[in-house]
Amino acid sequence: MTDRLNNLALKGRNNEPPMPQSLVRNLLHLVYSTKNRSPWIPTDVQPKLFAYQAGIFKEWDSPAIIISGVEDHVHALFALSKNHPLIKIVEEVKKGSSKRMKTATGNLDFHWQNGYAAFSVSRSNEPAVHQYIQNQEEHHRKRSYEDELRALLRLNHVPFDERYVWD
């Protein structure tokens, strides 16, 4: 009787085989800045901010692999959830961490920019993107956020209009 029940449980309606499992790993490189690229993320606050953001990513089934940045912007490499759209993940990370930054720093003017940039990352490029994100402080001694974002958009063949990229 138990075998018969197990066999029935494994079959769907009308004796059809069960739906196969959905297996997904979509890596994304997410980039966004503070409003008007204001230097509102002090160096001493960054580790706590990035850890907090990692918690939000995890909460939304989109585990962060690495998060780093500098005073005016953040980079995150994460595995996008199969259950939630990118826009919702970004909204929740930015909303939650904005509230946290206002509390942690006392800067009630703290806001993230309205938009973001996100790029797919192949498994073979994951180590290079990880290293790139890890070295943000060193990288930005030579290049501004604006120049960096333009280069990333071009590298990833994302058309853009300068009039609408910055806020």
pLDDT in tens, 23-74: 899 999 999 999 999 999 999 999 999 999 999 999 999 999 999 999 999 9
Does residue 11 form part of some domain?
no
Mean pLDDT (the chain) is: 92
Does residue 64 form part of some domain?
yes
Does residue 4 form part of some domain?
no
State the residue range of the domain holding 109: 26-165
In sequence order, what are the residues at sequence separation of 6 or more whose Cβ sits closer than 8 angstroms to the Cβ of residue 108?
Answer: 102
How confident is the model over 118-128, as pLDDT tens digits?
999 999 999 99
In sequence order, what are the residues at sequence separation of 6 or more whose Cβ sits closer than 8 angstroms to the Cβ of residue 55?
Answer: none
User: Does residue 28 contact residue 117 with C-beta atoms inside 8 Å?
Assistant: no
Residue 4 has pLDDT above 80, yes or no: no
| 162 phi, psi to nearest 5 deg | -50, -30
Does residue 32 form part of some domain?
yes
Does residue 42 form part of some domain?
yes
Q: Confidence band (pLDDT; 50, 70, 90) for 102?
A: very high
Q: What percent of the chain has pLDDT over 70?
A: 90
**For the chain, what is the domain count?**
1
CATH assignment at residue 142: 3.30.70.1290
Model pLDDT, residue 39: 97
Does residue 65 form part of some domain?
yes
Does residue 144 form part of some domain?
yes
